Amino acid sequence: MSLFPIFVKLHGRLVVVVGGGEIAAGKIDGLLRADAKVRLIAPDVHPSVAEPIHNGKIEWIARKFQPNDLSGATLAIAATSAPGVNAEVYREAEARGILCNAVDDIENCHFYYGSIVHRGDLQIAISTNGKSPALAQRLRQELEQQFGPEYEMWLEWLGAARELLRAADGGTENNKQRLHHLASKPMYERFVKEVSKVPARRGVNGKVHLVGAGPGDPELLTLKAARLLANADVVFYDALVSREVLSMISHDAELIDVGKRAGRKLLTQDEINSLLVSYAKENKIVIRLKGGDPLLFGRAGEEMEALRLAQLDFEIVPGITAAVGAAAGARISLTDRRLASQVLFTTFSRGETGHLSDGGLNWAAITPETTIAIYMPGTHYGEVAERLIENGLSRETPCVVVSQATRAEQQIRWSTIALLGNETQLPAPSLLIVGRVASHAKAQSFENWGGCSRRTALQSDAAHELRFAEAQQN
105 among known catalytic residues: no
φ/ψ of residue 139, rounded to 5: -65, -40
Instruction: Spell out the alpha helix ranges (H) of 168-281.
Output: 172-182, 185-195, 223-231, 243-246, 269-280
Could you give the CA distance from residue 423 to residue 416 in angstroms, rounded to a whole number?
10
Geometric angle at alpha carbon 130, from 129 and 136, rounded to 5°: 85
Beta strands (DSSP E) in 319-393 are: 342-347, 349-350, 356-357, 370-375
Geometric angle at alpha carbon 318, from 315 and 321, rounded to 5°: 145
Q: Give DSSP secondary structure letters for 26-89.
A: HHHHHHHHTT-EEEEE-SS--HHHHHHHHTTSEEEE-S---GGGGTT-SEEEE--S-HHHHHHH
How many CA atoms are closer than 13 Å to the CA of 103, on its beta-carbon side? 18
Could you give the CA distance from residue 65 to residue 400 in angstroms, rounded to a whole number?
75
CA distances in angstroms from 279 to 224, 275, 367, 423, 440, listed in the order given = 21, 6, 46, 44, 48
Catalytic residue among 69, 233, 238, 293: 238
Catalytic residue among 9, 260, 265, 281: 260
CA distances in angstroms from 286 to 234, 301, 409, listed in the order given = 5, 17, 30
265 among known catalytic residues: no
Asked if residue 317 lies in contact with residue 309, where contact means CB atoms within 8 angstroms, the answer is no
Closest CA to 381 of 391, 389, 371, 392: 389
Helices and strands in the chain, H and E counts? 16, 21
Catalytic residue IDs? 238, 260
